[in-house]
Amino acid sequence: MEYVRMNNDLECPVIGIGTFMLKPAEAQNSVREALKMGYSLIDTANAYVNERAVGRGIRESGVNREDVFVSTKLWPSEYENENAVNETLERLGLEYVDLLYIHQPAGNWLAGYRQLEKAYREGKAKAIGISNFEGEFIKELETKWEIAPQFIQVEAHPYFTQKELRKTLDKYNIRLMAWYPLGHGDKSLLNEEIFAKLAAKYGKSPAQVILRWHTQMGFVVIPGSRNVDHIRDNLNILDFTLTDEEMAEIAKLDQGVRYYHRTDEQLVGFAAWRPQFETE
C-alpha cells in the first residue's frame, strides 16, 4: 500500500473502498471482503445509513482495528446535535475514527466543524475534514477554523482536477479525497485515447489507469462497488507508475467539467433531512 502524509503527520492509504449507495448488507460484505484482500481505508457517512453494517464488516474481516483507516461524515441535521459524534461511533462500534468530516456546507456548518475540532482534541477523531466545501464556503471556513482540516472530499477526475481549490489546499497541506474519481462512469472519459493507449502499455484497464493517475496526483480515491472482482481490480493499481510525460498528456484533458451541480435548494434540503439510521 502507498500512503499520503497529512498535515498532522499521520498517514492515510491512497486507495480505499467507498460505501455510497450500498445497502447495509452490501456494505457489510464489500467492507469485509475488501479488508481481507488488502484494503485498509473504508469510507462511509451518516447519510449512507450503513455505518452499523460497515462496523460489522470490519469486525468480520478479522483485521486489527489499528490496521484499518475509517472515514465517516456528520450529516447537516447532526451539526447541532451534541451527541452526534458519540452516536456515530456507537453505530460503527468504534472508540474513534481515523477521519471525521462534515458532509455539506449546509445548515449551521460552523457548529458541525466545532464538533470535529472537539472530537479531534478528545481523540475521538484522529483527523478531521470537510466535504464539498469549495469557493466562498472554504474561503469563509479558512477564517474561522481553530484547527485546519487534514482532508477535503470533493468531485475530482481527469476532466475536473480542482485546480483553483488546490491553491488553498496546497497552502495548508490539506489532502484531497476524490469522489466520482472515474467521472461518474462517463464512457467518454473512460474511452479517451490516452487511457486506451496506457492501458495497453501497462496491461491494465482504462479505469485502473485513471485511478493510478489520481494517486500520482496526490489524491486519495475511494471507488465503491458491491462486486468483489471490481473491488479487487480497483486495488490492483500500485504495481505500475505513469511517467511525467504521460501525466502531462492526461493533464490536457482537464476541461473544468463537473458531473454534479449542487443548488441552493439542495443545501436547504441537506440541512433539513435527517437519516433514518439502522437499528441493528
Query: Would you name the residues annotated as active-site residues?
Result: 48
Q: Greatest CA span in the chain, whole angstroms?
A: 53
Task: Collect all residues with Cβ–Cβ distance below 8 Å to 43 and sequence separation of at least 6.
Answer: 16, 17, 18, 19, 20, 71, 72, 177, 222
H-run or E-run covering 27: helix 24-36
User: Is-contact 204 232, C-beta < 8 A?
Assistant: no
Taking the CB of residue 9, how many other CB atoms lie within 10 A of it? 7
Taking the CB of residue 170, how many other CB atoms lie within 10 A of it? 11
User: Is-contact 30 17, C-beta < 8 A?
Assistant: yes
Look up residue 12 and give its amino acid. Answer: C
